[in-house]
Structure 1
Amino acid sequence: MAEVQLFVLQDEFICTVCSDTMTDPVTIPCGHNFCLNCLLDCWDQNQEFSCPQCRHTFTTRPALRSNTLLSEVVKKLKKTRLSSPSSKNYVGTGDVECDFCTWKKYRAVKSCLTCMASYCQTHLQLHYEGDALKHHKLVDPDRNLKGKLFWKHHKCLEMFCKSDETCICMMCGMTEHNSHEKLELEMETEGKQKQLGATQSEIRRRLEEKEKKLKEMRRTVEEMKLSVERVMEEHEKSFRDLIHCIEETHKNLTEKFREQEKREMEKAEGVMEQLEKEIEDLRRREAELKELSETKDHLHFLQKQLGATQSEIRKRLEKKEKKMKETRKTIEQMKVVKLQSSPYGLLNLRAERSFYNVSLSVHGVYHHIIFNISRQAYDMKALYFCPLTLDINTPHRDLRLSEGNKKVTYERAKAKYPDHPDRFDDWPQVLCREALTGTRCYWEVECSGDLMKIGVAYKGLRRKGQGRECRLGYNNKSWCLQWSLSQYSVHNNNQETEISAPYSPRIVVRALRECWRRSGCGDDSDVMVPVSLRVT
C-alpha cells in the first residue's frame, strides 16, 4: 500500500530547477523543496536570495538544512524503481505523451482501449499489478484514441459489421446491428489485407503490361527513325548524283564549245586574212585601172590592159566584201549561246544538235530518281494494304450492300436481312468482316453525300439500342472521321475535334498498330463504315 502511495506522489519529489528527482533535498522558509546544489547555484548566479518557484525574496540568506524525512522518502522511491525516467524518455516530436504525468510529460509506451488513455512506463505498472486493471486491452501508443470511440455510446469501436460495412461498438452490436453479421476487427482486417494483396498483384501485372507496351512503342519509334534516316540517305545520294551529273555535263559542254569556238575562230581568221589580202590586191588593181583610163598614150593603154574591165573588178571586190561580212557575223553568233531551264530541269541550247546527247543524259537521270521514289511508294502501299469486305451480318436494315459487299448505300426501304446478334438495330452503321492486323495498315475509301463517317472500333462495340455506346465515335471503344456541314471533324469518347481541310471524295487511311492501342483500339479492331459511304 505504501508503494502505491509513493507511485501516486512521485511527481511531488521533482526539483523544479533541474526537472529531476531531488538529490539532498532542502526546505527553505517559504516551504518549497529543492536540490541543495541546484539552490546554491541559483543563488550564486542571481546574487539574490529568492525562491525559484514562488519568487519570494529573503532579506538575508536562509540557513539551509537537509530535509531528513524527504531524503528518506526519495531514497525509498529510488529503491522501488519509481524514480523519474531519464531524459531520453521525455516526450519528443511524434511521440504519444502520458495522460497521467502532471509535471513533466513522458513518452507513453502503451495505450489502454478500456481506459481510453495512454501511459508511460511508470504509470503503466498499475495495469500489471492491480487485479482490476490486468484484464484491460493494451495496444501500442495511439494518439487517436478519441477517434476509436463511438460518439453516441461513448464506447470503443471493437467490432465490424459486414452487413453495413462499418465499425461498431459492443453497444451497437447489441442494439441496431443485433441481427447483422459481425466480426472482430482483426479478422476483418486480415480479409481486407488479402483483398489488398490481390489488388496489388493486379496493379503489378497491369504495370508490367504498360511498361512492356511502352518499351515496344519506343522500339517502334527507334525503328521508324532508322527507316526514315535510311530513306533520307538514299534520296540525298540520288540528288547528289543528279547534281554531279549536271555539273559534269555543264563542264563537258563548256569545254567542247570552247574547243569548237577556237577551231571556228582560227578558220574564220584564216579566211579573213585571205580576204583582206585579196581586197588589198583588188584595190591596187582598181587604182591601176583608174590611172590607165586617164592616160593619153594609146599605145601604153593597150599594153597595160589586163583583159578585165573595171566593172568586173568592182563586182569581184563587192563579192569579197560581202563574204567578209558574213564571216564576221558567223563569228559574232558563235560568241552568244543562250541556256534556258525547262520545267523538267533540261538544258535547251540554241545549238540543239550539239547538246542533244547531253539533254538525253540529264533527262534519264531525273526519270531514274523519280522512278525509284515512285517504286518505293508503290512497295509501301502493296506491303501494308488491307483488303476489306463488309460483313453481311452487321448492317442496319436501312443500308444496302452491293458489288460483292464492297459498296454500301443508305436507303429508306428496309432491307430483309435475317435477325442476327451482331446487326445494328438503331444506328445505320456496318462493320467490315476483316480485323486490322499487322504493325501498319493502309486502306482507301471513296464516298459521296453530305454526311459520312469512317473509322475503327472494337469488335465488342454494342449493336443494340440508341445509346452512345452503340454510336461510332461517341464512346471509348471507337474512333471516326466525319464529314458534315462542309467540315471535317474527328470523334472519340464523345469528344469532337474540327479539322481544317478541303473536301475530298477519296480518303486514304494509314495507321500504326501501336497508335490504335494507345487510343483504345486493340487486336480485335474492325473498320466501321456508316451512312453514305462507298468502299472500293
Structure 2
Amino acid sequence: MSAASCLLSEDQFLCCICLDVFTDPVSTPCGHNFCKNCINEHWNSNDQYLCPLCKKGFCRRPELHINTFISEMVSQFRQEAQQKASSSSSEQQAAKPGEVPCDVCTGTKVKALKSCLVCLTSYCETHLEPHLTTLGLKRHQLMDPVENLEDRMCKKHDKPLELFCTTDQTCVCTLCSVLDHKTHEFVPLKEEYEGKKAELGKTEAEIQKMIQKRRLKIQKIKHSVDLSKEAADREKARGVQVFTALKESVERSLNELIETIEEKQRTTEKQAEDFIKELKQEISELKKRSSEVVKLSHSEDHFYLLENFLSLKAAPPTKDWTEVSVRLSSYDGTLVKAVAQLEETLSKQMKKLVKAEAELKRVQQYAVNVTLDPDTAHPKLILSKNKKQVNHGDVLKNLPNNPKRFSHCVFVLGKQSLSTGRFYFEVQVKEKTKWTLGVARQSINRKGNIKLRPRDGFWTIWLRNGNEYSANSGPTVRLSLKSRPQKVGVFVDYEEGLVSFYDVDAAALIYSFTGCSFTEKLYPFFSPCLNDGGKNSAPLIICPISAGSTGACITQ
C-alpha cells in the first residue's frame, strides 16, 4: 500500500507463502494462518503435512476452515486501503500537457511515475505500488514514463524490441533477428544505447568548444571596436586642437572632418555589430542543439535515444570564423586632407603639431614595461594582480613594517629603476580628480610627511580639484593646459638631466624639468590620491605602448 499507515498494518495480513494479503484465510491446528489455496497447493506438492512457518508435522492432512474473524479483518483492511489510495490519488495533481498520464487512473489522470515494459502500462505513484511489493510484478522492467508503449513492440511479431540491428540501424525483436534479419549483425539495445550516448557526449563537447570559440571571437571583435573607438577619439582630439584657433570660416571644415571620422567609426561598428549578431545567432542555434543533445544524452530510454539520434547527429551549418576580423578604419591622411584646404592659414599650426608628434614618437621608442612594487605601497593602496593599476581604499591593511614602504602618504613606486640612459612609460588618468605622477630617487624619505620637490628627490606633476594642474618644482608652477589629459607619458633622459611629461592623446608637451642632476637610481612614482568618498575612486593604470603609436590601456 502507498500510505505509511497501511504499510504498518499490512504485515499482519500477509500470507507467508504468496507474500500478498490473505485471500480466504484459514488457520492450521498450530495456530498459523495462510491463504486457503496457498496452503493446499503447498501440501499437494509435498509428501508431508508440515506447517510452512513452525514446521510442525501432522499425521494426516488437517481439515481447513475459513477463519471468519481474520477474513472480516482482511476485508475491512482492504476497504480502508482502497479509500486511502483513492484519497492519495485525488490529492495528486492531474498530469499537465506534455506529461505522461497514468493509464490506470479513472476520472482525473494523475502524472505517471513509471512505465512497465511488460504490462505496456504507465502507472502513477499509487498504482505503481503492486510492482514494488508483489513478488511476481517485481520482475517487470520499469522505466521513466513514456507515451505510446506499443511503439516499443515489434509490429510484425508483437514482441519487445530488445535488439539493435547494426546493419539496418534499427531496433528489432528476437524473432526479427532469426527471420527477417538473420544475416545481419546485432547487439543488445543497451549496448548500442551506451555507444550512442558516448558519441552524444563527444558531440556535446564539440558543440561547447564551438560556442567557446565564438565567444572568444566576440571578445576579440569588441576589443577591435574599442581600439577603433580610441583611434577615432584621438583623431577627433587632434582635429579639435588644430581647428580651435580658427574662426567661423573653418568650422565647416572641422565638422566635415569629424563627420568623416565618425562615419568610418560607424562603418566599423556596423560591421562589428553584424558579426556579433551572426555569432550570437550561431551560439543560439548551438545552444539549442546542445540542449537537445544533453536532453537526449541524459535519457535512459534506449528506444527514444536511438530513434532520435540520427536526427541530431548532423551539426547545423556554421561559418568558419577563424579568419574573420573587423576592418579597423584608417585615419591616415584624414586630418591632412582637411588641413590642406587651409594650408596657408594652418601651416604654422601643422608644423607645430607634426613636431610634437615626432617628439612623442621619439620618446616612445624608450618605453619600458613598468610594474608597481607592492613592497613600497602605502597600506591603504590597492594594487591589481598584474601590478599595473592602483587605487586608494578605505581599509588600512596589516602589512609588514618594510623600510621601503610609504607609511604616511598614499604613494607607491615602480619596480623598475633607471641609473643610465632613457626610459618612458604611460599612465591612464581618465576619470580622476586628483593624481600625482613622476619619478623619484632611491634614497627618498618614505616615512611621515613628504614634500614633493626636486631637492627632496621628487620630479612630479599633479592634478588637484579636477582641473588644477601643477609642476612640483619648488616652488609649484601652475600649468595651463588646452585640454584635460586622459593619458600622461613620462620620459626621463638620465644623462641629460631631463624629466618630461606629455599629454599622449594630444601629442603635446605638458612640462619638463631640465638641468637636473641625477646621481642614484630613479624609480617611477605614482599616487592615486585619496578616493574622496568615491569621487576619485578610478585607478591609475600603467598602459602598454605600441611601437610608433599611443597604444591602448589593458585593465585587469
TM-score scaled by length of structure 1: 0.31
Q: Which structure has greater helix proportion?
A: 1
TM-score scaled by structure 2? 0.30
Which one scores higher on RCO, CA 8 angstroms, separation ≥ 6?
A: 2
Highest CA radius of gyration, 1 or 2? 1
